[in-house]
Amino acid sequence: MNHSTTDIIEVAIPLPLDTTFHYRVPEGLMPRIAPGKRVLVPFGRRKVTGYILGFATGEERELREVADVLDDAPLFTPRELEIYRWAAAYYLHPLGEVIKAALPAGINVQSRRGTSTDGDAMTGGRRVLTETVYHPATPPPAVEVPRGKASSILSHIQQEGKATAAELRGIFADCAPQLRRLRELGLVVTEEREVYRDPFREESVTPDAPLPLNPGQTEARDRIVAAIDTGRFAPFLLHGVTGSGKTEVYLQTIAHLLDAGRTALVLVPEIALTPQLVNRFRRRFRCGIAVLHSGLSDGERYDEWRRIRRGEVAIVIGARSAIFAPLERIGMIVVDEEHESSYKQSEGFRYNARDLALVRGKMEKASVVLGSATPQVTTWHAAVTGKLTLLSLPERVNGLPVPHAEIIDARGKKADAILPLLADATAANLANGGQTLVFLNRRGFATWLTCEECGHVLRCPNCAVTLTYHQRKNRHVCHYCDYAIPAPSVCPDCGSTRVTHLGLGTEQVEELVRERFPEARVDRMDRDTTRGRGGHARILRKVAERKTDILIGTQMVAKGHDFPGITLVGIVSVESTLNIPDYRSAERTYQLMTQLMGRAGRGEDAGRVIIQTLNPDHYALIHAGTASMEEFYTTELAFRQETGYPPFVHLGAIYLTGTAASAVEQESRRLAGQIRTLRREAGGHVEILGPSPAPLLKLRGRYRWQFLLKAPVRSALHRLLARLRRTYTPPSGIRILIDVDPVDLM
C-alpha cells in the first residue's frame, strides 16, 4: 500500500501554453482526485477546466487551490495519456489542447473571471439523458385502483413487469396524469435510467454470414490474424484494387480478434461513407458498435464516447478524431483508404490520424492495417522497403479485369469540351443502354486560358496555379493570392492569337451534354448539387435506379460509392489536378484516375475508360491507364529521389498569418533570420525551400507567408521546429503555425 502521494497535482490546461501547471488539493477534494479527471482551477483572474495528469512533488512556489473536481470517473487512462503526450510532443502542440481535441466536443466548462459557476459547470458538460421506467409496486398497496385509463395502464405495467414512459406513450398516448396518480397511490414505482442517443438504434438489420474468400483475401486474412495472435505490433499495407474485397478481409479479421477478447478501431475518411460500412458491420457482428464522426450532434457523440469508455462496444468506426477513441484492448486498427487527405487535420491541432494509427498501434501492441487501392507514395515505399508488410489483393471479387484507358491527345484540337471519340463512345453506350460517367474536376463555369499553338497555360506568377477566367470582369484571377490581369488576346508566351478558354466547369459540360444528347437523362453531382442533407443520396439513388443515363461529376464521384451500371467513364479534363504546383500532383492524379477507372464496368462488362488530356505523355496518366501500378510507384519514387522530396527527405512547414499584408511580409524577414540562426545551430542539415509556392497567399481574408523546410533526417528538422516554437514569439496581430507534417502544401 502506498500512501505517499502528495496533495499537489499536475494539470494541463487547454490553452495555447506550452507548460503544465501545479495546484494544491484541499483536503476535502483529495478523495475525488485521480489522473484523467477534469478539475476546475483558478487561472489568473478566471477559472478554467484542466486535466489532471498526475501527482507532483517538491514545488517551491505558493500554489493555488483546486476549486472543484468535475468528474466522478477518469476520462482517460494512463495509456491514453501516453498517446496524448506523444502527439503533443510530435506535433508541437500544447498538451491541454491535444487532450481537449481527443475528448468529445463540448464537455469543457470555463467561467469568466470571478468565482460563481453555475450548476451545469459543476456537473460538467453535456447532459446525460435519462428516461423514466415504471415498475409495479410489490407488494401492491391496499388502495383502490382507479378506474378507466389508469387501470388499463396499470395492468399493462403489471403484465410487462416494467415499461418506459416512451412505450406507454406509444400505447396510451397522453398518460402523464394517470401515471402521476398511480405513483402517488403507490401502485407503481419509478426508476431513472440513463439512455444513449444512438444514431442507428432505430434501424434494424438482417444478419449476414462471412463471404467466401478468394486466395488473395485468404492469405491477407491469415497473415493479419497470425500477427494479432502474436500480441505484437504489426503494420500492414493492404493493397487492393476497387472491388477486391478489402472490407471482407477487415470483417473476418475482426471476427477473429473479437473471439480473442480484443477490440477493433476502424478509421474511414468520409462521413458519407460511414452508413454503408456501419451497416455492413452491424449485419455481421452482434457486439456493440460505436460510430464517431463530425456529422453527429455533440450529444450523440458524447453518448457514443461514453459507451466506448464503459467498455460496452468492441468495434469503433469513425473519422480521424476516432483515433483517440477510449477503446481498450485494441487488437487492430484499420485505416481504410489510407491515402485520403481527410486523415490530416489542417486546423488548430494539426495531426494526421493515419500516422497516429501506427503510433497507437505500437503502444497497444496491435496490428495496423492501412488499406488502399492507391496508397500514398510514401506508404508504398515503406512497404517495398519492408517497414510495412505488403498484402495484395490483385483480383476483383467479381473476376472482371480492370479496364485499360484510352488516352486522347487534346492538344491543338478544337477547343471542344468533348472530343469526337468520347462523344461517339457516349452515343454508343447510350444506344446500348449503358450508363456513362463524365468526370471533370472543376465546378461552375470557371475556365482558364491556354494557347492552342504552344500549349502555354496562363498562370499566376506568384502561385503558379492556373488563373481562373471571370467572365463578368473579363479578367483572369488567381484564387490563391488575388493576382489579376485583363484577359489577353494573344499568347503571352508565343504571341499566337490562337488563345482559347479550356477547362470548362461541370455546369457548362452539363449544358453541352444535354444539347448533344437531348434524349439522355442527364444529372450532375458536385458540391453545388449535393448541398444540404440527402443531396448525395438523392443523386446516387437515381443512378442506382437507372434513372440517369449520363452523370457529370467532380472529385466526389470518384470516392467510395458503387455505380454498378456504369459502363463508360469519360474523363474530360485532368489538367487542374495535374497543374497544381505540389510535389504530390502526379500522385494525386494517378490516384484520381485509378479510382475513376474502378468506377467503370462493375456490371456485366468490363467497361471502357477514355481520358482526354493536354498531357497525354504524362506517366501518371499512362500508368493509371494501363493499370501498371508498380511502374507508377517506381517512376514516381525515382523522381522524388532525384528532386529531393518525400520519402527521401522530410518536410515541415511554418506559416505566418495576419490581416495586414505588409506586417506579415515584414515579420517574415525577421522569422527567416531566426530560422537561419537555428539552422546553423542544428548543424545545417535543414534546407529552407523558402516561401513556396507563393511568397504571400491570401486565404479567407488573412495573409499567409509560408516557409517550407526540408531535411534528410526527421529528427534534425523536428529539433529545429521545436526550438522555433520555444524561442520565437510573433508580434501582436501575427500568428505562427507550425506543421510538422504538412500534407497540403498549397
Would you list which residues are annotated within the binding site for Zn(2+)? 451, 454, 460, 463, 478, 481, 491, 494
Strand 68-69, strand 38-43: pairing: antiparallel
Which range, of 21-29, 465-473, 512-520, 612-620, touches DNA by CB under 7 A?
A: 21-29
What's the CA gap between 453 and 726, in Å, rounded?
54
Return the number of the residue (41 or 179) whose C-beta is nearest DNA: 41
Bridge partners, residue 739, by sequence? 653
Cβ closer to DNA: 138 or 729? 729
457, β-bridge pairs: 450
* Binder of DNA out of 16, 26, 106, 231 (CB under 7 A): 16
Restricting to residues 282-301, which ones interact with DNA according to CB under 7 A?
none
> For DNA, which is the closer residue by CB, 112 or 472?
112
Interacting span for DNA (CB under 7 A) from 454-462, 670-678, 718-726, 729-737:
729-737
CB of 406 closer than 8 Å to CB of 569? no
Is 251 within 8 Å of 307 (Cβ atoms)? no
Select from 34, 35, 42, 160 the one that contacts DNA (CB under 7 A): 42
Among 6, 19, 190, 643, the residue binding DNA under the rule CB under 7 A is: 19
Which are the contacts of 521, defined by CB distance < 8 A and separation ≥ 6?
Answer: 547, 548, 549, 550
State the minimum distance, in angstroms, from the CB of residue 64 to DNA: 3
- 8 A C-beta contact, residue 298 and residue 104: yes
For residue 531, give every residue at least 6 positions away whose Cβ sits within 8 Å of its Cβ, in sequence order, or none: none
Q: Amino acid identity, residue 525? A: M
CB of 731 to DNA, least distance (A): 5
Task: Name the helix (H) or strand (E) containing 448.
Answer: strand 448-451
Pick one of 26, 30, 59, 495: the residue that binds DNA (CB under 7 A).
59
Of 653, 712, 652, 716, which is closest to residue 681 (Cα–Cα)? Answer: 716
Nearest partner of 719 among 17, 92, 20, judged by Cα: 92
CB 705 within 8 A of CB 661: no
Residue (23 or 343) nearer to DNA, CB: 23
Q: Does 46 bind DNA (CB under 7 A)?
A: yes
- Phi, psi (deg, nearest 5) at residue 595: -60, -40
End-to-end CA distance of the chain: 57
Q: Report the residue from 25, 37, 39, 43 that binds DNA according to the rule CB under 7 A.
A: 43
CB–CB of 504/447 below 8 Å?
yes
Q: Which residues define the annotated binding site? A: 451, 454, 460, 463, 478, 481, 491, 494
Nearer to DNA, 97 or 582 (CB): 97
Answer for which of 29, 34, 63, 397 binds DNA (CB under 7 A) is: 63
| Min CB(27)–DNA separation in Å | 17
CB nearer to DNA: pick between 43 and 351: 43
| Span of 57-65, 551-559, 615-623, 629-637 interacting with DNA by CB under 7 A | 57-65
Provide the minimum distance between the beta carbon of 82 and DNA in the complex, in angstroms, as a whole number.
22
Q: Work out how close the CB of 182 gets to DNA at its nearest, in angstroms, rounded to a whole number.
A: 49
Considering the complex, state which of residue 42 and residue 299 has its C-beta at the smaller distance from DNA: 42
Considering only 3, 45, 127, 700, the residue that binds DNA (CB under 7 A) is 45
Q: Return all residues near 495 (Cβ < 8 A) that are at least 6 apart.
A: none
655 binds DNA (CB under 7 A): no
Cβ closest to DNA, residue 16 vs residue 311: 16
The least distance separating DNA from the CB of residue 115, rounded to whole angstroms, comes to 12
* Residue 486 in the binding site for DNA (CB under 7 A): no
- Find the shortest distance in angstroms from Cβ 70 to DNA: 17
Question: In whole angstroms, what is the distance from residue 165 CA to residue 704 CA?
Answer: 56
Q: At what angle do helices 246-259 and 215-230 cross, to 10 degrees?
A: 30
Stretch in the footprint of DNA (CB under 7 A) among 36-44, 212-220, 415-423, 715-723? 36-44
Residue 702: strand pairing partners:
699
CB of 703 to DNA, least distance (A): 17
Residues 75-114 that bind DNA (CB under 7 A): 112-113
Given the complex with DNA, which of 21 and 703 has the nearer CB atom? 21
Position among 1, 3, 31, 44 found at the interface with DNA (CB under 7 A): 44
- Compare residues 24 and 280 and give the one whose CB is closer to DNA: 24
As measured in angstroms, the least distance from the Cβ of 17 to DNA is 5
Q: Whole-number minimum distance, CB 22 to DNA, in Å?
A: 3
- Of the candidate spans 60-68, 216-224, 314-322, 323-331, the one that interacts with DNA by CB under 7 A turns out to be 60-68
Sole window of 17-25, 144-152, 465-473, 658-666 interacting with DNA (rule: CB under 7 A) = 17-25
3-state secondary structure of 531: coil
3-state secondary structure of 674: helix
How, if at all, do strands 702-711 and 650-658 pair?
A: antiparallel
Q: Number of helices (H) and strands (E), helices first, in the chain? A: 21, 31
Minimum distance of DNA from residue 43's CB (angstroms): 4
Among residues 5, 7, 17, 628, the one that binds DNA under rule CB under 7 A: 17
Q: State the number of binding residues for DNA (CB under 7 A).
A: 23
Please name the residues in contact with 745: beta carbons below 8 A apart, sequence gap of 6 or more: 582, 583, 584, 651, 653, 692, 693, 706, 708
Taking the complex as a whole, the smallest distance from the CB of residue 556 to DNA amounts, in Å, to 34
User: What is the DSSP secondary structure assignment for residue 462, as one 8-state letter?
Assistant: T
Distance CA 685, CA 687 (A): 7
The x, y and z cell numbers of residue 14, run together, are 487547454
Distance CA 100, CA 123 (A): 17
Label the pairing between strands 68-69 and 46-56: unpaired
Stretch that binds DNA, among 10-18, 241-249, 611-619, 654-662 (CB under 7 A): 10-18
Chosen residue from 1, 2, 61, 531 binding DNA by CB under 7 A: 61
* Residue 688 Cβ vs DNA, minimum distance, rounded to whole Å: 25
Which triple of cell numbers denotes residue 596? 475513376
Q: Nearer to DNA by C-beta: 21 or 448?
A: 21
The stretches of 47-175 forming alpha helices (DSSP H) are: 78-90, 95-102, 119-123, 149-160, 165-172
Q: How far is the CB of 684 from DNA (least distance, A)?
A: 31
- Closest among 644, 642, 640, 654 to 717, alpha carbons compared: 654
Biggest CA pair distance of the chain: 104
**Which segment (38-46, 432-440, 515-523, 661-669) binds DNA by CB under 7 A?**
38-46
Nearer to DNA, 15 or 421 (CB): 15
Among 2, 115, 474, 732, binds DNA (CB under 7 A): 732
Residue placing its CB nearer to DNA in the complex, 108 or 379 = 108
Give the number of other Cβ atoms within 10 Å of residue 259's Cβ: 8
Other Cβ atoms closer than 10 A to 731:
10
Closest CA to 687 of 727, 657, 661, 720: 720
- In order, the DSSP letters of 671-736 are HHHHHHHHHHHTTS--EEEEEEEEEEEEETTEEEEEEEEEESSHHHHHHHHHHHHHH--PPTTEEE
Among 21, 91, 302, 480, binds DNA (CB under 7 A): 21
- Which backbone phi and psi does 317 adopt, to 5 degrees? -120, 130
Asked if 726 touches DNA (CB under 7 A), the answer is: no
C-beta closer to DNA: residue 118 or 545: 118
Per 3-state DSSP, the chain is made up of helix, strand and coil in percentages (nearest 5) of: 35, 25, 40
Binding residues for DNA, rule: CB under 7 A, are: 15-17, 19, 21-23, 41-46, 59, 61, 63-64, 112-113, 731-733, 735
